[in-house]
Amino acid sequence: MQVTSLRIYAVKSMAGVDVETAEIEPWGIAGDKRWGVVDDAGTKITAREMYGLLGMRAEPVGSSGVRILDRAGTATLVDAPHYAAPISVSHSRQGQARPASEETNRWLTQRVGRPVRLVWQGDPTARSIAEQHGGKPGDTLSLADAGPLLLVSEASMAQLNAWIAADANLDDVPDLDRSDISADTLPNLPLSIIRFRPNVVIDGGMAFEEEAWTRIRIGDLEFRKTMICDRCVMTTIDPVTLEGGKEPIRTLARRRRREGKTWFGIRLAPLTTGTIRVGEAVVAS
């Protein structure tokens, strides 16, 4: 097995960028999800509620800055607000974050259509991985939902696309959660693996074998699986057109539902730090 792509999402819920190499820090990939979007009260806003965030691309710049591009390609460059007074935010176990400038917030508000603020996680060591998400004492986390990195498998994606095609003429499962789909249409196939917002994509191996792993080596670095990732409505939004639909949740609800949730991909916590690269070998146990 080997790494086929690496991806960084500088702002939580915005589109990411592919990179050839990634620096691994204790809380994840350097520059990944250190920024987030909140409303005026500090309540986090994600693409679960505001699908349009997926249409904006965020690129890490330097050690802590970010460049955000809208659908028209207009960009704004944001420096980390190191000295801004922190505000309260609702990200679990985070408490506070530092807001970007009012100019940046006006720019973003104009594009998403409601008052929002961009915030920066200045200290990633302050946020822990929840115990119920596989966290251990000393584990730290960016503004990611539950784990520092998300790994997905091309073999698992191929199997999922095959299931979607095979099940296309079947009725929806009776208890399909309507809040987990974004429209009543079925998409063109194959679905892109980018819908699952992976940091690391690998090839080789058997479909879904990654769920049985406990340790993973990528190149010279070691990682621990913290949990299998439960999936939500964001995966039903086409990352290019932003059109909604039922898949892949419709098929995952039939084929891969446990404990009332659907599952795809695994979350990883770094055990060592350094650099990983596209093309490096992946060894799991």
Domain residue ranges of the chain, discontinuous segments joined by +: 34-124, 131-137+144-284
At residue 79, the pLDDT reads 97
Q: What is the arithmetic mean of pLDDT over 180-184?
A: 96
At residue 8, the pLDDT reads 98
What's the chain's average pLDDT? Answer: 97
At residue 252, the pLDDT reads 98
Nearest to 105 by CA among 120, 121, 127, 91: 120
Q: What is the arithmetic mean of pLDDT over 204-220?
A: 97
Q: Per-residue pLDDT tens for 1-10?
A: 999 999 999 9
Q: Per-residue pLDDT tens for 33-50?
A: 999 999 999 999 999 999
Q: Per-residue pLDDT tens for 94-111?
A: 999 999 999 999 999 999
Q: Per-residue pLDDT tens for 257-279?
A: 999 999 999 999 999 999 999 99
At residue 210, the pLDDT reads 98
Ramachandran angles phi, psi of 160, nearest 5°: -60, -45
At residue 272, the pLDDT reads 98
Q: Per-residue pLDDT tens for 228-247?
A: 999 999 999 999 999 999 99
Q: What is the arithmetic mean of pLDDT over 177-200?
A: 96
At residue 236, the pLDDT reads 98
At residue 283, the pLDDT reads 98
Predicted confidence band of residue 171 (pLDDT cuts 50, 70, 90) = very high
At residue 273, the pLDDT reads 98
At residue 141, the pLDDT reads 96
**How far apart, in whole angstroms, are the C-alpha atoms of residue 5 and residue 151?**
10
Ramachandran angles phi, psi of 250, nearest 5°: -55, -45
Q: Kindly give the pairing relationship between strand 215-218 and strand 221-230.
A: antiparallel
Please give the share of the chain, as a percent, with pLDDT higher than 90.
99
